[in-house]
Amino acid sequence: MSEDRRLDVLRAIVEDYVATREPVGSRALVERHALGVSPATIRNDMAALEEGGFIAQPHTSAGRVPTDLGYRVFVDRLSTVKPLSTAEQRAIGTFLENAVDLDDVVDRAVRLIAQLTQQVAVVQYPSLRRSALRHVELVAVGARHLLVVLITDTGRVEQRTLELEADLDEAIVARLRAWLNASTAGRRLSELPTVLASVPDAFAQTDEPMVRAVLRVVEETLAQESEERVVLAGTSHLARSSGIDFARTIGPVLEALEEQVVLLRLLGEMAEDNAAVAVRIGRETQHEGLLETSFVTSGYGDESGASVARVGAIGPLRMDYPGTMSTVRAVARYLTRILAG
C-alpha cells in the first residue's frame, strides 16, 4: 500500500469528519475526494489505518473516525498553516490596534479568537517574570504623597500611591527617578532585587526614609503583579459539541478550564515546543478533563522578539485544525506588533 495514498485517505477522513460530524465511509471518500483508486482499495487502506490506530469504528457497520494519533499525524503533515485572507488580516489588525491599553488588548484578542475559531479562546497576560521594565515614573501628588508608576516593555502599567511621613523634596525625587530609570530600564524582574539593593549612599545621606519607601513599594508591586494570569472567552461554544464530541458531558472540560493552574501548566509546556504554532491533542494534554479536547497555542513577544506569553484556542478533537492554527498564529503576530510598537 502506498504510504502517500494512505495519508491522503487519512486526511480525507479527518476533513470529512470535521465538516460533517458523521463517521466517514469508503463510499463517501470516493464521492467527495479524487483519490484515484477504487472503493475496494480505499477500504483496504482504511483497514490498514484502523489497524495502525489512526482511525476507529465507533459502531458496527458505521464509518470511521480519526483517533488522537490520526489527528496528530494530520496536524504534523500540514506543510504550511493556511494564510488568512487580506480582509481577515485587515479586520484583525484594525480591531486590535484600536485598543487603548494592555487590558483592552487582551480582552479584544480573546474575544476575537473565540469569534473566529468558534472555540474557547485563551490569552495569557505578559508575565513580569518574562517582561522588562521600560520606565519608572515618580509623581508628587501632594506634599506627602508620591505616585509610583511602573511601565513594562509589554505594555503593563502598574501604579501605587505612597504616603510619606515628611514633605517631599522635589530635587531628591528627581534624582531618585533618574537613578531608577538608569539602573532598571531594560532589566528583567529576576535582576531587579540586586539592582534595587545597590542604591547609592548619596540617597541614604539625604532622605533615607523616602528612598527606602519608594524602593519597597517598587519591590512589592513587582512581587504582587508577577502572578501569571489567563483570560478565557467563548466557553459557550462547547455547548454546541455536547453529546456529539464528548462521550460524557462537557462538565469535566469546563472544570479543567476553570483551573488556571492547569492552563498555565499547558501553556508553559507548549512554550517549550519551539514551534510557531503548538498543538496538544487529547491525551497529550495530560489532564483527565481535557482528554477529548485539543489545544492550539502560539507565543507573542516583546520588543526583542522573545515570547512573553501565549494565546490559544481549545475545542473538541473534531476541530478545524488548519483554520484554528492560522487564526491563533495571526492574532499572536498582531499582539507582538502592537506591544513592540
CATH number where 177 lies: 3.30.390.10
Give the pLDDT score at 31: 86
User: Domain of 48?
Assistant: 3-76
Last residue of a domain, one of 76, 99, 118: 76
Residue 42 located in a structural domain: yes
This model's pTM is above 0.85: no
Read off the CATH number of the domain in which 98 is found.
Answer: 3.30.450.40
User: Do 120 and 151 lie in a common domain?
Assistant: no
Give the pLDDT score at 197: 76
Mean pLDDT of the chain: 85
User: Do 239 and 110 lie in a common domain?
Assistant: yes
Last residue of a domain, one of 224, 253, 279: 224
User: Do 140 and 219 lie in a common domain?
Assistant: yes
Give the tens place of pLDDT for each residue, 14-27: 999 999 888 999 88
Last residue of a domain, one of 224, 249, 275: 224
Residue 245 located in a structural domain: yes
Residue 81 located in a structural domain: no
Give the pLDDT score at 126: 79
User: Do 200 and 263 lie in a common domain?
Assistant: no
> Dihedrals φ, ψ of 149, to 5°?
-120, 125
pLDDT value at 165 more than 50: yes
User: Do 233 and 321 lie in a common domain?
Assistant: yes
User: Do 138 and 281 lie in a common domain?
Assistant: no
pLDDT value at 137 more than 50: yes
Give the pLDDT score at 68: 94
Counting the structural domains of the chain, the total is 3
User: Do 175 and 120 lie in a common domain?
Assistant: no
User: Do 330 and 276 lie in a common domain?
Assistant: yes
Mean pLDDT in residue range 85-112: 88
Read off the CATH number of the domain in which 7 is found.
Answer: 1.10.10.10
User: Do 158 and 170 lie in a common domain?
Assistant: yes
User: Do 122 and 195 lie in a common domain?
Assistant: no
203 vs 116 pLDDT, higher one: 116
Mean pLDDT in residue range 288-317: 86
User: Do 106 and 138 lie in a common domain?
Assistant: no
Separation CA 188–CA 195 (nearest Å) = 10
143 vs 279 pLDDT, higher one: 279
238 vs 72 pLDDT, higher one: 72
pLDDT value at 76 more than 80: yes
Could you tell me whether strands 307-316 and 120-124 are parallel, antiparallel, or unpaired per DSSP bridges? antiparallel
Most confident residue range from 89-98, 141-150, 162-171, 277-286: 277-286
Q: What percent of the chain has pLDDT over 70?
A: 88
User: Do 238 and 202 lie in a common domain?
Assistant: no
Instruction: Please report the DSSP string for 221-281 in residue order.
Output: HHHHTTS--EEEE-GGGGGGGBTTTBSS-SHHHHHHHH-HHHHHHHHHHHHTT--SSEEEE
312 vs 302 pLDDT, higher one: 312
Residue 107 located in a structural domain: yes
Q: E-strand spans in the chain? A: 55-56, 65-66, 120-124, 133-140, 145-152, 157-163, 230-233, 278-281, 293-301, 307-316
